[in-house]
Structure 1
Amino acid sequence: MLRVSQLIIYPIKSLGGIHLNNAKVTSRGLEHDRRWMLIDENHRFLSQREHAQLALYTVQLINEGLKVTFRPDGSSIVVPFRPIKNDFIEVSIWDDTCHGQLVSNEIDAWFTAGTGINCRLVYMPDNIERPTDPRYTEKGTITSFSDAYPALLIGEESLNDLNKRLTDPVLMNRFRPNIVFSGGEPYAEDLMKHISINGMDMYGVKLCARCVLTTIDQETAEKGKDPLKTLATYRRKGNKINFGQNLVLTGNGMLNVGDEITVISTHTEERFLMATNPLVT
């Protein structure tokens, strides 16, 4: 039996995640997930890929909003759920552009001081919609400031299999999933086309291509070569190294740790098939 074992959101893109027992499903992903984002002077998103120090920021949900703490000096600031400012600017995430709402000059200054980068924090309100890639998703599917899709699914057994191949095992936080599940075979998520959790339908649309972010220790911000180097030896397809499945979510409701996952249909397209799929020999 497959069951949800972890639910994680990352309210500010590329900063620390928050583990939840329950998470509300919205049209663009789990509630609060990647609704905020740091941008540089060119209005481009900041990522641990180029700025590993972002891993050193932890985020908590409190009544007033997000409490963000910079672990090296223990300083913290509260980001309100609704921005103080009412100014909008065009921002970029990879090849996408959309509008973001500036949050607060004080918050911008705090992040600039900690990161050493002249940056600003933006928020995506409900009236701004960013479409997902139409090559892989239905028209009308939207996401927040995520890299591309509303949610990411990974099985515990996939990480267990990877760790057996590593000299130094890694934690799931290297991969920044939203939904982690127990049970099943390693890489079972690769083939999940249509699943149901707590009465809500979810669809796997694309294997998740991994990058150097996976090589950053989320506690220390130190970089290494693994697990990406090892993943490349057995999870490469074309020029992509895959780990996890990108999801689109439908319906409204709550996900809970412990919910059963029902697999309704599986992928048969070549782009989902890898040597490590449990059904491929």
Structure 2
Amino acid sequence: MNLVELFIYPIKSCGKIPLNQAEVTLKGLAGDREFMWVDESGQFVTQRTYPQLTKIRVQQLENEIELSVDNQEIEPFKLQPTLTGTSKTVQVWRDQTVAIDQGDAVADWLQNALKQDEQPYFRLMRQSPDFIRPVDPNYAVNPNNQVSFADGYPCLLTNTASLAELNRKLKETYSTSSQEIPMNRFRPNIVIDTNQPFIEDNWKTILIGEVYFDLVKPCSRCIVTTTNQKSGERNELKEPLKTLATFRQQPRGVMFGFNMIPRNTGTIQVGDSVEVVEIL
């Protein structure tokens, strides 16, 4: 088994950046979900309610982050991230933490990019290094476990064989390949290549490169999986969530992929072997 793809999403719910190599920090891959959009009350904003956020492409430059939108007459925006802006309390699910406002210019750019002439008006916030957001204590391995602006856990792992099985069922249901989907619907950080679907359900600890990961909770899926990650359009048949629910429904939701917590920092890269250290 090998690691075949690595992704970070610098801005929560916006475009991905593929990597050949990543630094693993205690709160996930370096640069992943360090930023997020919030509404005027400080509530986090995602594709769940604004699927068009996926059309915001993100590119990391040397000291800047470039935002752009395909096929629109709007110039890309180069953001100079800051840790000296106005601090504000923000909400991510049940968590409250403090983040740093990235300024009016990027907020105005998003308003234009999304063609929103009226409210809501979103602000881009950066996670403050002075405030740790802890992992849910019900799943934390130790009290020091922390997370970025990801939904709840530092890293998300998916498996190529699981996607192949889902696409097989979709093709079987619709007698066509028209509903088959790419892995980007699940917005993973780490994609591994195996020949057994959902084999990770039985893992407790794995080693990738020089980093140990504890698999703490299967990932429950939502309407984002029905959103085309290029166009922002929702699938009218609610696929693949509808089909996934026929064979991956569990008490806490419809599951695909696994949430992980790194035990240590280090480097991982595409091609690394995946070693199962401990099973359930």
Pairwise same-fold verdict (TM > 0.5): yes
Task: Give unpaired runs (5+ residues) of structure 2.
Answer: 172-178
* CA–CA separation in structure 2 for the residues paired with 1:265 and 1:177: 22
Q: Residue 54 of structure 2 corresponds to which residue in structure 1?
A: 55
Q: How does 1:103-182 map to 2 (within 5 A)?
A: 103-115=102-114, 116=116, 117-137=120-140, 138-167=142-171, 168-182=179-193
After superposition, give the CA deviation of every residue in 1:106-126 in whole Å (9 maximum; x if it has no partner). 111111222323010000132
The structural deviation recorded for 1:239 is 4.8
* CA–CA separation in structure 2 for the residues paired with 1:80 and 1:229: 41
Distance 1:36 1:48, change over 3 A: same
**1:165 maps to amino acid:** K
Q: Residue 246 of structure 2 corresponds to which residue in structure 1?
A: 233
Q: Residue 76 of structure 1 corresponds to which residue in structure 2?
A: 76
CA contact (8 A) 1:112 1:120 kept: no
* CA–CA separation in structure 1 for the residues paired with 2:266 and 2:95: 29
User: Which ranges of 4 or more aligned residues in structure 1 deviate by more than 4 Å?
Assistant: none
The structural deviation recorded for 1:259 is 0.3
After superposition, give the CA deviation of every residue in 1:160-205 in whole Å (9 maximum; x if it has no partner). 1100111421010000000001124110122221001112110000
How many pairs does the alignment contain?
A: 265
* CA–CA separation in structure 2 for the residues paired with 1:239 and 1:136: 14
CA contact (8 A) 2:206 2:278 kept: yes
Q: How does 1:265-276 map to 2 (within 5 A)?
A: 265-267=278-280
CA contact (8 A) 1:64 1:78 kept: no
Give the match's secondary structure for 2:258: strand
Per the normalisation by structure 2, the TM-score is 0.92
* CA–CA separation in structure 2 for the residues paired with 1:260 and 1:64: 32
After superposition, give the CA deviation of every residue in 1:192-233 in whole Å (9 maximum; x if it has no partner). 210011121100000000000000001111101100000010
**Does 1:19 find its partner at 2:30?**
no
* CA–CA separation in structure 2 for the residues paired with 1:27 and 1:239: 26
**2:243 maps to amino acid:** T
CA contact (8 A) 2:2 2:193 kept: yes
CA contact (8 A) 2:81 2:102 kept: no
CA contact (8 A) 1:3 1:258 kept: yes
Q: Residue 270 of structure 1 corresponds to which residue in structure 2?
A: none
Q: Residue 46 of structure 1 corresponds to which residue in structure 2?
A: 45
* CA–CA separation in structure 2 for the residues paired with 1:248 and 1:184: 24
CA RMSD of aligned residues (A): 1.2
Query: Identity across aligned pairs (percent)?
Result: 35
CA contact (8 A) 2:13 2:54 kept: yes
* CA–CA separation in structure 2 for the residues paired with 1:184 and 1:210: 22
* CA–CA separation in structure 2 for the residues paired with 1:219 and 1:147: 21
